[in-house]
Amino acid sequence: MATTLIKGGLVVSATGSVLADVLIDGETIAAVLAPGSTALGGDLAATADTVIDATGKYVIPGGIDAHTHMSLPFGGTSASDTPETGTRAAAWGGTTTIVDFAVQSAGGDVLEGLAKWHGMFDGECAIDYGFHQIIGGVDEQALAVMPRLIDEGITSFKLFMAYPGVFYATDDQILRAMQVAADTGLLTMMHAENGPVIDVLAAQLVEQGRTDPYFHGIARAWQMEEEATHRAIMLGNLTGAPLYVVHVSAKQAVAQLAAARDNGQNVFGETCPQYLYLSLEEHLGADSAEWGRFEGAKWVCSTPLRSRAEGHQDVLWQSLRTNDIQMVSTDHCPFCMKEQKELGLGDFRRIPNGIGSVEHRMDLMYQGVVQGEITLERWVELTSTTPARMFGLYGRKGVIQPGADGDVVVYDPKGHTSIGVGKTHHMNMDHSAWEGFEIDGHVDTVISRGRVIVDGGEYLGRKGDGRFVKRELSQYLV
């Protein structure tokens, strides 16, 4: 088995940082040693097959992005990154595992939906991947089959309080699915927005001629995120099912989660870089020479970007420090402007929802360290360790320790990353939602199960090397 020694770096974990050498043997971390240690019987730097000098750099567990949608069919088109292009872009950015969403549509068979996603991903990916299951139609058959997902390594499922006519679940359906979750240990992930009310508001805006992307953000009012979050929490309380609320953007939804946690309830929240950095005013309301007031379509996603004047972004950063929000994923769901986002010219309701960020999450969250929003250790916790614990991957992923998969990133805090098309852009999109962002750090080397897949600006990964990972139950169940 080939060995790799990463020497002299600062090994950063969720609990602390220490100067150490990391030895990977084959696909697995074999040892974490004092720098230059000969405890294994000799000079490792002289005997290892590959030696990576990480002096002055951070050595972190590979990023885990627990919320992506490669090739997701949505709004009459499909997300523009395939499993192949999306996982390659993820690798470039220091993410070594994604958890994507297999889809069961209303009236469809859950296990057939899962099999279809296996077919799409198998042999395509550059990095390891798992699946959550979208239950887009909670019916008797779906409820009966859900417990079998656990044997398939799918230990979480997503329900939608939004998107009537697409994935939408009614309260009684949510109750039934949560009862199954409480009985089995499946983790309920919730898209918490009141879809029926939002659809009425959106129709009224369009009737008034307010058709620009900006009104996507107005229709999807924070009150309807707060309300749905509260309702989901109450249904979780009633059933005893733990709850994980995805893509939280409104400060009022954060307050609902914080109050429920203070009350002892097992609820969790995830936010995304777009809700921390971008805003309704600056981005959804953007206006360019090329696209006019349709420019904002680049940032149409649900939940929507929120007003900076109302202070949502500051509260979200704070919630990452106080642990009221526990994770940062991307909700990577990219669409090109040409032929995709432009489906919504003249009617914001037809703009496919989603932003592409899988490549930039580790960098964007590192910038939070640079700006003093979070600590170095919290960076690792939010982007790797908690995702692993939340979604049953911990031990293999999310930590640098003997026995774990050799998924390791060498990050250079003295490096620099200029984000943008033609600079660092490997996602399959004709624009970047992050154009012009400057990061005071750089992903130098990415190792996936012992193989160097990115090194010094060179991509060395291979389609098909990424494997499906069966997940255990969440470590956060009680």
Residues that bind ligand URP (CB under 6 A): 69, 191, 247, 301-302, 331, 333, 353-354
Burial grade of 468 (CB within 10 A; 0-12, 13-18, 19 or more): middle
Q: How far is the CB of 115 from Zn ion (least distance, A)?
A: 21
Beta bridge partners of 77: 74
Q: With respect to ligand URP, which residue has the nearer C-beta, 354 or 398?
A: 354
Name which of residues 330 to 349 contact Zn ion (CB under 5 A). 331
- Cβ distance to ligand URP smaller for residue 285 or 334: 334
Choosing among ligand URP, Zn ion, none, which partner's interface includes residue 301 (Cβ < 5 to 8 Å by kind)? ligand URP
Cα of first residue to Cα of last residue in the chain, in angstroms, is 40
CB 277 to ligand URP: min, Å: 16
Q: Of the two residues 246 and 365, which places its CB atom closer to ligand URP in the complex? A: 246
Q: Nearest approach, Cβ of 243 to ligand URP (angstroms)? A: 16
Closest approach, Cβ 457 to ligand URP, in A, equals: 31
433 binds, among ligand URP, Zn ion, none (CB under 5 to 8 A by kind): none
Specify whether the CB–CB gap between 247 and 317 falls below 8 A.
no
List, in order, residues 6 or more apart from 433 with CB less than 8 Å away. Answer: 274, 278, 283, 298, 299, 355, 356, 357
What is the smallest separation between the CB atom of 300 and ligand URP, expressed in angstroms?
Answer: 7
CB under 5 to 8 A by kind: which of ligand URP, Zn ion, none does 354 bind?
ligand URP
Distance between CA 214 and CA 283 in Å, rounded? 8
Size of the site for Zn ion (CB under 5 A): 2
Smallest gap from residue 453 Cβ to ligand URP (A): 27
216 binds, among ligand URP, Zn ion, none (CB under 5 to 8 A by kind): none
- The smaller minimum CB distance to ligand URP, of residues 74 and 379, is found at 74
Q: Which amino acid is at 346?
A: G
Quote the least distance from Cβ 67 to ligand URP, whole Å.
7
Q: CA–CA distance from 457 to each of 58, 186, 300, 324, 407 (Å)?
A: 17, 40, 31, 36, 18
* Residue entry with tokens 């982007």: 383
- Angle of helix 312-322 relative to helix 251-262, nearest 10 degrees, comes to 30
User: How many Cβ atoms from other residues are within 10 Å of residue 393's Cβ?
Assistant: 28
Q: Which is nearer to ligand URP, 60 or 161 (CB)?
A: 161
Least separation in angstroms between residue 4's CB and Zn ion is 34
Helices 171-184, 222-239: crossing angle, 10 deg rounding: 50
User: CA-CA distance, 187 to 189, in Å (whole number)?
Assistant: 6
Which CB sits closer to Zn ion, 191 or 349? Answer: 191
Cβ closest to ligand URP, residue 301 vs residue 453 = 301
For Zn ion, the closer CB: 333 or 410: 333
Q: Look at the chain and count its residues.
A: 478
Report the run of H or E that residue 88 belongs to, with start and end.
helix 83-92
Nearest residue relative to Zn ion (C-beta): 191
Using CB under 5 A, pick the residue from 7, 88, 176, 191 that binds Zn ion: 191
Residue 353 interacting partner from Zn ion, ligand URP, none (CB closer than 5 to 8 Å by kind):
ligand URP
Which tokens is 418 given?
A: 């200029």
* 284 burial type by CB count under 10 A (0-12 exposed, 13-18 middle, 19+ buried): buried
Binding site for Zn ion (CB under 5 A): 191, 331
